[in-house]
Homo-oligomer: A and B are copies of this chain.
Amino acid sequence: MTLPRPTDGELSILRVLWSLGPSTVRQVHEVLMKDRDLGYTTVLKMLQVMTEKGLVTRDERERTHVYASAQTEGQTQRTLVEDLLGRAFGGSALKLMVQALASGQASQEELREIRRLLDQKEG
């Protein structure tokens, strides 16, 4: 079974779970509140919906439930990139990388790292 693409809101929750590890609603809520104002029950509801979708798992053994991302950060990123490749780049990984480079957010060190990856892949 393949998971649905997370929405923007869902992704912001997943990012918290990846950084904190398995967390309670309260913990997620506290982190999200740093960025924007939103109610506790909003986060709770979203996590409930995400549980139904299979995006997160829920540990209900304690009264205070603990949520965890169902997929690793890398797995999700991989899916999102492939999705974007298909939807906006006609499958061309090259074009996508060109735009990523053009965004100018890569440091010198990252550029070297990418070169290393290319060497490895090209052989």
Contacts and interface: CB of A to CB of B under 8 A. Distances in A.
Interface of A: 8, 11-12, 15, 74, 76-78, 80-82, 84-85, 87-103, 105-106, 108, 110-115, 117-118, 121-122
B87 A103 contact: no
How many monomers of this protein are in the complex? Answer: 2
Contacts of A111: 118, 121-122
B93 A110 contact: yes
A8 B87 contact: yes
B100 A122 contact: no
Most buried by B among A11, A94, A100, A101: A100
A92 B100 CA distance: 9
